[in-house]
Amino acid sequence: MRSVCPHDCPSACALLVTVEDGRLTAVTGNPAHPFTQGVICGKVREYAERVHSPLRVKTPLRRVGPKGGGEFAEISWDEAIGTIAVRWQAIIRDHGAEAILPFSYAGSMGQVQYYAGHPLFHALGASRLDRSICVNTAYAGWRATVGAVTGNDSEQMVGADLVVLWGVNAAYSTINVMTLVKQARARGAHVVAVDPYRTPTAQQADEHLRVRPGTDAALALAVMNVLITEGRIDRNYIERATLGFGRLAEHVKAYPPERVAPIVGLDAGILVRFARRYGASPRTFIRVGIGLSRHDNGGMTCRTLACLPALTGAYADPHGGALLSSGGAFGVDYAVLERPDLLPAPPPRLINMIHLGRALTDRTLAPPVKALYVYSSNPAAVCPNQTLVLEGLAREDLFTVVHEQVLTDTAFYADLVLPATTSMEHEDLYRAYGQFTLQLAQPVLPPQGQAKSNWEVCARLARAMGVAEEHYAKTPRALISEFLARGDHTVRGITYAQLRRDGWARINLPRPYLPFAHGAPTASGRVEFYSERMERQGLPPLPTYTPLVEGPENRALAARYPLQGIVPPNRFFLNSSFSQSELLRRRQGTPSVMLAPEDAAPRGIADGDAVVVASARGRARFTARVTDATRSGVVVIEGIWWHRFHPGGRGVNVLTDDRVTDMGGGPAFHSNLVEVSRA
């Protein structure tokens, strides 16, 4: 039977699943899907273990022990919904509806489940959540240059002379890109990975530029300097499709390779060679990772990278260009799902999700947050500044409901836990963000225990609260049909019935897809080297390298915390999902920190030692991995383990800060100064 991977990953793999005696027994990739081609990752291959996990929540639960203790008693759905309605009504009466905060992210990328709560909380007048934790910074930067979150189809890298995997660990985080990289390489492409450590992706590349974290904009500016000085540019493309070249050319004179080399931590000769290779032909494809943007200067970094293909005309080449995300290419109408028309006027306050800890503990906030409703997210583990998040979640006067598939760190702090269905148990529509297909998945299993989908639970809550009932009277199927029907030409002709029959459809885009061949949907209609919009926002209007707020240039902090600590994903978890799996935890090993021999030796740390990593926020325990995979001065902590599986009971996000990046209000997860010592 067909299914679709529901997880927050650019690939959105098409799956084939086997069900025997009412149990999921096998999951493989569907070879017929044009992009994912039957290749899936090691975690989703073990999906049966997740669906039938001993940690699955099967019935509604009520807390019977202290907050955070995870002691619960089973209750009925009627009692759960009734309790929530009574508590919410009292809170609305005493504090106003803004005292209710919904908190969700991308546990499921299914569009019905992702947006299931929006109409309910809008109609209640609850606080709005700024869902900033992942893509906002990268997207804001990308839009500043090219106006839309789209780019050349990655399939087009097959046939390129040069493929650059820039801040993307595709071998872990979007494995299907590696299928294309291999094909491109077989056709003669030279592959360069740009990453502070030697990831499995970098290992498979011909060349690895091991940059210092947060310096990619400087690297790109040095490339521009060489391209312009040596005339390796496409004057025709620049003339017809870009804005501000004259000012850019003047500006990049300040970034000669010799000056940039010590900033990025690479020899000037390497920068020049890379630039010449990039400028040798327009058949150059850059796949930019979203992870790259999780730095203080991450928006500007993405904006700067988006300028490169415009200098050489690569955006117009059938095997060139760049892709950060395909998300904005889908011309669907989100108002159908989000229902902004249900919001009261003026709209309720907006709370940035990465400030959850602040929102729950700030005594001056009026009204205070008195009720938290968490679904499709595990904020206790994934949010920065975890200590503050946990302090907030531990508040006795906070009424917390968590709708979950498994008993997560966050669920442990709930007053009520509600059981959620998995993608194998409910219908949904999936929109990829690393490729250009829409897919529909039907349930292949009945709901496990008494599990209900986000859509069903929000519908019950809407009824209990007497709001938005007409919206939830729709079926998911009707909602999907309406969502597609209200879209633009990119989805014209794609219907529920067709998706149900075929499983997927590529949206209506030409092949090759060259969205910026003749300009871009910015204010000027051109790819903007110079951005008046950024100038108005008080940001540098031209691509500019700004050192990290929390990096080696911050000498006061670096004196105490001399190492840069980046915190990218690991192979077998997806954010904190799959940390529930004993099998995958075993494959992953143990929470660990990679450090270079030059950093380990003076600290008396040997491979396998128990160590403490400390930042200005807090400390957590890890096992040291002494390895030349990372450069001196940079330590790497991969993955997010649940607290109960982490030595010392606190995870990686105890170390990270909740300050926002330069653009988009997102988190600077990777801009961390730390110290490592033996435990």
Ligand X SMILES: Nc1nc2c(c(=O)[nH]1)N[C@H]1C(S)=C(S)[C@@H](COP(=O)(O)OP(=O)(O)OC[C@H]3O[C@@H](n4cnc5c(=O)[nH]c(N)nc54)[C@H](O)[C@@H]3O)O[C@H]1N2
Binding stretches for ligand X (CB under 6 A): 8-9, 105-108, 113, 133-134, 166-169, 172-174, 194-197, 199, 211, 213-214, 216, 289-292, 295, 375-378, 382, 403-406, 408, 420, 454, 566-569, 571, 573-577, 640, 652-653, 656, 669-670
Minimum CB–partner distance for residue 94 and ligand X (Å):
27
Q: Which member of 4, 134, 170, 398 binds Mo ion (CB under 5 A)?
A: 134
The helix or strand, by DSSP H or E, that contains position 379, with its residue range, turns out to be helix 379-382
Identity of the residue, 241 or 429, whose beta carbon is nearer to ligand X in the bound complex: 429
**653: which residues sit within 8 A by CB, 6+ positions away?**
381, 382, 383, 384, 385, 386, 389, 567, 640
The residues facing 452 across adjacent strands are 420
Secondary structure class of 266 (helix, strand, coil) = coil
Tell me: does residue 120 bind Mo ion (CB under 5 A): no
Residue with tokens 């910026």: 516
Identity of the residue, 257 or 664, whose beta carbon is nearer to Mo ion in the bound complex: 664
Binding mask 417-436 for Mo ion (x = CB under 5 A): --------------------
Of the candidate spans 129-137, 306-314, 384-392, 473-481, the one that interacts with Mo ion by CB under 5 A turns out to be 129-137
Phi, psi of 350 (to 5 degrees): -110, 125
Minimum CB–partner distance for residue 483 and ligand X (Å):
17
Identity of the residue, 8 or 662, whose beta carbon is nearer to ligand X in the bound complex: 8
What CA–CA distances, in Å, run from 219 to 105, 262, 288, 340, 544?
33, 10, 14, 41, 11
The residues facing 275 across adjacent strands are none
Phi, psi of 413 (to 5 degrees): -95, 5
Minimum CB–partner distance for residue 587 and Mo ion (Å):
21
Identity of the residue, 106 or 542, whose beta carbon is nearer to ligand X in the bound complex: 106
Of the candidate spans 108-116, 131-139, 146-154, 470-478, the one that interacts with Mo ion by CB under 5 A turns out to be 131-139
CA distance 567 to 573: 13
656 binds, among Mo ion, ligand X, none (CB under 5 to 8 A by kind): ligand X
| Cβ count within 10 A of residue 527 | 26
403 binds, among Mo ion, ligand X, none (CB under 5 to 8 A by kind): ligand X
| Cβ count within 10 A of residue 520 | 24
The residues facing 62 across adjacent strands are 73, 416
213 binds, among Mo ion, ligand X, none (CB under 5 to 8 A by kind): ligand X
Q: Which of residues 359-418 bind Mo ion (CB under 5 A)?
A: none
Identity of the residue, 108 or 481, whose beta carbon is nearer to ligand X in the bound complex: 108
Identity of the residue, 109 or 517, whose beta carbon is nearer to ligand X in the bound complex: 109
Helices (DSSP H) in 394-494: which residue ranges?
409-412, 454-465, 469-472, 476-485
Minimum CB–partner distance for residue 133 and Mo ion (Å):
7
Identity of the residue, 420 or 527, whose beta carbon is nearer to ligand X in the bound complex: 420
108 binds, among Mo ion, ligand X, none (CB under 5 to 8 A by kind): ligand X
Listed residue (427, 394, 457) closest to 104, CA to CA: 457
Three-state secondary structure of 540-554: CCCCCCCCCCCCCCC
Residue with tokens 């990289």: 181
Q: Which residues bind Mo ion (CB under 5 A)?
A: 134
